[in-house]
């Protein structure tokens, strides 16, 4: 009976620990999305309504990138392909959301390598191409 209780206690603690780690990661990604959106808003003149939607898109993108990095940590080619797809989807969603002037400004930032959200993918892509095969 004591061993069953110890096993249940250990399982509960492990679950609580994993839950806390997931919450911390989520909070970190939300803060990162907020900061990226703030920077982007200043650079491409986002209004408040669009900023909220861009922040959600950015958060979703960061979550996807995090999951891909975790799932394909041992397969750099697959990770790179998946990250490119996420980047393309994000860009397509932004194109639908932003005005043409804002989107042109965003594309200029991406081309210059200074778009806030694009930095994450660029870093991940560099890391995967630098990994030994």
pLDDT at 26: 87
pTM of the model: 0.73
46: left (phi over 0), alpha (psi -120 to 50) or beta: beta
* Arithmetic mean of pLDDT over the chain: 83
Residue from 75, 90, 111 nearest 37 by CA: 90
**Long-range contact pairs involving 21-30 (C-beta distance under 8 Å, separation at least 24):** 25/66, 26/63, 29/59, 29/62, 29/63, 29/66, 30/59
Angle in degrees, 0-180, between the axes of helices 48-71 and 116-130, rounded to the nearest 10 = 10
pLDDT at 60: 96
């Amino acid at each position: 009976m004591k061993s069953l209780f110890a096993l249940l206690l250990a399982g509960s603690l492990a679950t609580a620990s994993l839950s806390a780690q997931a919450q911390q990661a989520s909070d970190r990604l939300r803060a990162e999305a907020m900061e990226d959106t703030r920077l982007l808003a200043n650079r491409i003149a986002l209004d408040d309504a669009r900023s909220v939607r861009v922040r959600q898109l950015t958060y979703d993108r960061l979550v996807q990138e995090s999951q891909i990095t975790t799932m394909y940590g041992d397969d750099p080619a697959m990770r790179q392909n998946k990250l490119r797809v996420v980047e393309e989807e994000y860009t397509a969603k932004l194109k639908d959301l932003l005005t043409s002037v804002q989107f042109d400004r965003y594309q200029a930032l991406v081309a210059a390598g200074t778009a806030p959200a694009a930095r994450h993918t660029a870093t991940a892509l560099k890391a995967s191409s630098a990994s030994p095969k």
